[in-house]
């Protein structure tokens, strides 16, 4: 999907018979944008999600049996000049479509740290507005325990 200003919508041609036509996905009058879409697998179910109003994310507060806390530093900048951020953070990110909170939290921790965990409980969450693409955000922090008494190794 690609938004473009509605004031220039007449500049975008949508051919009808050459196999490259687009469908209107949604219109955002406030931002004056129209988003068009094209599913590229015509023999398969269209899996482009409908226009969403929220995104959902989760972070894992991972505590070992020795009360060690697992934190990460993210890399910033373009691949040619990456540097570690100065701040420490909990591993986490956005859930994939159809993924449960528990699955997404475990996946994010595994992807970012390599530590396999089980979710114990939800600790807190917040709801913010006006983020990426003007969407609202639900973000959960869950308590996780490493599987099999795994010690958290320090790099």
Catalytic machinery residues: 111
- Structure tokens belonging to residue 70: 């697992």
C-alpha distances in angstroms, 139 versus 45, 108, 126, 127?
30, 13, 5, 7
Computed from CA positions of residues 143, 148, 151, 152, in that sequence, does the dihedral angle turn out positive or negative? negative
- Structure tokens belonging to residue 33: 């944008």
CA dihedral 13, 19, 20, 26 (to 10 degrees): 90
């Amino acid at each position: 999907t690609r938004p473009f200003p509605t004031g220039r919508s007449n500049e975008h041609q949508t051919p009808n018979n050459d196999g490259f036509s687009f469908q209107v996905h949604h219109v955002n009058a406030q931002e004056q944008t129209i988003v068009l879409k094209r599913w590229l697998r015509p023999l398969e179910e269209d899996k482009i999600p409908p226009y969403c109003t929220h995104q959902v994310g989760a972070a894992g507060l991972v505590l070992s049996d020795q009360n060690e806390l697992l934190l990460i530093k993210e890399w910033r900048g373009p691949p040619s000049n990456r540097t570690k951020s100065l701040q420490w953070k909990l591993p986490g990110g956005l859930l994939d479509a159809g993924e449960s909170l528990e699955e997404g939290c475990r996946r994010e921790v595994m992807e970012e740290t390599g530590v396999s965990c089980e979710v114990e409980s939800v600790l807190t969450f917040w709801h913010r507005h006006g983020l990426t693409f003007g969407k609202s955000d639900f973000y959960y922090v869950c308590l996780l325990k490493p599987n099999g008494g795994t010690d958290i190794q320090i790099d």
